[in-house]
Structure 1
Amino acid sequence: MTEINIDESALESMESLLGEQFPDTLEFCCAEFERLGNEAIAALGQDKEAAIRHSHSLKSNAAQFGAASLAEVARLIEYNLNNGNDEQAVDAADGLMAQVTGSQAKLNAWLAGR
């Protein structure tokens, strides 16, 4: 089972910063998590620079919006690719989309409870 961790303080900070734009921005970010995750996985073994770039963007976006465990998986992929550990990057990527889906669900549940 994939453990999904959400940092509610990061969400609250973004909500405070964005105000009424927060719900739409969170929805956009959840869609971006999926796009970036799929693109990172598709680039693995094909285009290392693209995989690093997509993993980095996913890491940053996820961390900014409180998807802590998703950010950590993306960080592991990026780190391992940058250090020539392609096999470990692929291993980390095995759980990436489960993190994306689980994070999306928890973020949307958090927003619905506001």
Structure 2
Amino acid sequence: MSVSIDNEALESMQSLLGEQFEDTLIFCCSEFERLENDLKLALDSDKQEAIRHAHSLKSNAAQFGAISLSSTARAIELGLIKGDEETVTENMEIITEQVVGSKSQLLQWLSMNS
């Protein structure tokens, strides 16, 4: 799955946050990594915690237009809720690629639009 970013979502967050946008976006990118790590740690030990981290990752990613990351996290969240281990495993295999790729594209967008 390729990494996709919604430029309109970024532009709308930029106009909403104004001067706070750059710092917020940089913080959000670090949150992607933290939530991914927390999700991995909780995956085998605390299902509810893992669901919460997947949900937060999904929401944060969607808010800043990281569409493919958001949908990967959503698939993990739903897979955990439904007990669908195959879906969880498939999506956990690509979550790091999605986090890294989304972060890279968001920061590249920031450097071109700030």
Given the two structures, how large is their TM-score scaled by the length of structure 1?
0.96
Please say if residues 44 and 51 of structure 1, whose CA atoms lie closer than 8 Å, have aligned partners that are also in contact.
yes
Q: Partner residue of 1:6?
A: 5
- Residue 58 of structure 1 aligns to a residue in which SS? helix
Please say if residues 38 and 97 of structure 1, whose CA atoms lie closer than 8 Å, have aligned partners that are also in contact.
no
Q: Partner residue of 2:78?
A: 79
- Residue 95 of structure 1 aligns to a residue in which SS? helix
Q: Partner residue of 2:92?
A: 93
Q: What is the rounded CA distance, in whole Å, between the counterparts of 2:105 and 2:11 in structure 1? A: 14
Aligned length: 113
Q: Partner residue of 1:113?
A: 112
Q: What is the rounded CA distance, in whole Å, between the counterparts of 2:40 and 2:91 in structure 1? A: 10
Q: What is the rounded CA distance, in whole Å, between the counterparts of 2:67 and 2:86 in structure 1? A: 23
Unaligned 5+ runs, structure 2? none
Between the two proteins, what is the percent identity of the paired residues?
A: 55
| CA deviation after TM superposition for structure 1 residue 90, in Å | 2.0
- Map 1:55-70 → 2, pairs under 5 A: 55-70=54-69
Taking only aligned residues, the RMSD between alpha carbons, in angstroms, comes to: 0.8
Further displaced range: 101-110 or 38-47: 38-47
Q: What is the rounded CA distance, in whole Å, between the counterparts of 1:42 and 1:89 in structure 2? A: 14
Q: What is the rounded CA distance, in whole Å, between the counterparts of 1:44 and 1:90 in structure 2? A: 10
Q: What is the rounded CA distance, in whole Å, between the counterparts of 2:82 and 2:22 in structure 1? A: 37
Please say if residues 55 and 77 of structure 1, whose CA atoms lie closer than 8 Å, have aligned partners that are also in contact.
yes
| CA deviation after TM superposition for structure 1 residue 44, in Å | 1.1
Given the two structures, how large is their TM-score scaled by the length of structure 2?
0.96
